[in-house]
Amino acid sequence: MAMASDWADLPDDLLDMVAKRTPGIKDYVRLRAVCKSWRSFLRPKSMPPLLMLPYDPRGESCTRAFLDVSDGTVHELDLPETRGYRCCGSSHGWFVLERWPDLCLLNPATRERVQVPPLTRRVEAWSGARFMQRGARERWEDRACRGLRHPLSEPEVRRAALSSDPSVDGNCTVMVLLATVEAVFCKPTDASWRTLAFAPDPDSVP
């Protein structure tokens, strides 16, 4: 019986030849996603931003469409990891996926997935003192602390963003803006979320 090939040990010159014969962006992204050694050897190609088109998270299809804003081309990619999840934000090449109360981070190119605490796990409010005047800070701190003493409802996640690439920076912070005009944040290694005791003007949130 022939032994299975160890693709991670493919010589660099052969891998370079394969990469040169892979002109398409979508195929090149898949090529880099084969393993960590290939990803470290093959440098990312410059490419225009891709906009993920809306999809029904409750649907059976796992195919997601991405619009190339430079020429209007639509690329399709199978992402079964997004089934049942709503994309509520993207940063540094990662998606922030939500299925209340669960939240996870997904890199669509490498399929790497990072789980973060459920949004129902909250601890004490964190004061954004340097961003607010004292009076406003005290009012919002009181409101945030009162909210932590009551069971959470099911607020809609309006926005989510990452401070950095989780695969590169172990101290990446995930920030989420809820429909209750609350901002919560955590690191992937945290056991719970913290509430930022600061709320923007509700009229300014779309």
Q: Which has more pLDDT, 31 or 164?
A: 164
Do 34 and 75 lie in a common domain?
A: no
Least confident of 21-30, 50-59, 63-72: 21-30
**How many structural domains does the chain have?**
3
Do 103 and 187 lie in a common domain?
A: yes
What confidence tens digit (pLDDT) does each residue in 8-21 have?
788 888 888 888 88
What confidence tens digit (pLDDT) does each residue in 118-152 have?
988 776 555 444 434 444 444 434 444 443 433 34
Instruction: Report percent pLDDT > 90 for the chain.
Output: 29
SS3 100: coil
Do 104 and 187 lie in a common domain?
A: yes
Of 82, 101, 128, which residue sits at a domain end?
Answer: 82
Rounded Cα gap, residues 186 and 53, in angstroms = 27
Helices 25-32 and 12-20 cross at an angle (nearest 10°) of 160
Take residue 125 and report the two structure tokens written for it. Answer: 């409010």
- Which of 46-55, 105-114, 139-148, 158-167 has the largest mean confidence? 158-167
Take residue 15 and report the two structure tokens written for it. Answer: 């891998």
Take residue 45 and report the two structure tokens written for it. Answer: 């190609």
What is the SS3 string spanning 81-96? HHCCCEEEEEECCEEE
Q: Which long-range contacts (CB under 8 A, 24 or more apart) does 164-171 make?
A: 164/92, 165/92, 165/93, 165/94, 166/92, 166/94, 166/105, 166/114, 167/107, 167/110, 167/112
Closest CA relative to residue 152, chosen from 122, 175, 124: 122
Do 20 and 69 lie in a common domain?
A: no
Do 63 and 137 lie in a common domain?
A: no
Average pLDDT, the chain: 76
Do 99 and 188 lie in a common domain?
A: yes
Rounded Cα gap, residues 160 and 175, in angstroms = 6
Rounded Cα gap, residues 64 and 134, in angstroms = 46
Rounded Cα gap, residues 41 and 94, in angstroms = 21
Which secondary structure element, helix H or strand E, spans residue 139, and what is its range? helix 134-148
pLDDT of residue 12: 86
Do 89 and 159 lie in a common domain?
A: yes
Q: Which structural domain, as residue segments, surrounds residue 112?
A: 85-206
